[in-house]
Amino acid sequence: MILLGVNIDHCATLRQARYRQAPVTIGGPIEPDPITLAVLSERAGADGITVHLREDRRHIQDRDVARLRETISTRLNLEMACTPAMIEYALKLKPDSVCLVPENRQEVTTEGGLDIVRNRDRVKTCIDTMKAVGIKTSLFIDPDAQQIELCAELGAPWVELHTGAYANAYHTAARAKEFERLRVGAVLAHENGLVVNAGHGISYVNIDEVRTIPHLHELNIGHSILSRALFTGIEEAVREMKTRMNA
């Protein structure tokens, strides 16, 4: 069975659109509450909750992450930049896993995978630091052979293949090429002893093909589930995605 990690960042995006200047993240008129969304997602079958605490705190806030750590009963996956400040934060929080991702202040959401080759030393330091305290590290990368092989060389237990290029090409002639990149990347990662996760742009339409990527362990999905939840409610949205993932 492929596991489902629900990314709740955009629930916080909706809250921050109106209450960015509020001194607190919950209470009174402030809504919606990302932690309530996480609990309902778990109730509907989510196997873990993913959040990205960004440097500029554009959506998820520190207090959100602390409340998640105290509240959820599955697994907390912290997406983070590979910086000394975020490493220190993760060591204090002790999430179940961290996923190292690139960060660009101009992007609305994470675009593109982390360049492990250019950031080799920083990534290695983070992997070793997390491993020493029992936190598993995943590296969010494009399905590129050089990146995948270096992930294994640096001792990362997991990779998360960036499916964004495939999702963007889904309704174009480039779809087959992008899917083949993911398929080959997943096989190579598995052959190198890496657990294979995937995420970004996965939807209720393309999931029928995404789920056929070999060796998948977990998919991290946020935007599409939150979008569907506007019409069906979060519990039905999560249940439907989990069913489609494992049809």
Active site residues per annotation: 52, 79, 200
The two tokens of residue 34 are 């990302």
CA distance 58 to 184: 35
The closest of 50, 40, 160 to 95, measured between CA atoms, is: 50
Which helix (DSSP H) or strand (DSSP E) does residue 218 occupy?
strand 216-221
Phi, psi values for residue 99, rounded to 5°: -125, 115
Q: Which residues pair with 198 in a beta bridge?
A: 161, 219
Q: Report the distance separating Cα 61 and Cα 52, nearest Å.
A: 9
Categorise residue 183: left if φ over 0, alpha if ψ from -120 to 50, beta otherwise. alpha
3-state secondary structure of 108: coil
Q: Give CA separation, 197 vs 21, 42, 160, 228, in Å.
A: 36, 19, 4, 22
- φ and ψ at residue 227, rounded to 5 degrees: -65, -45
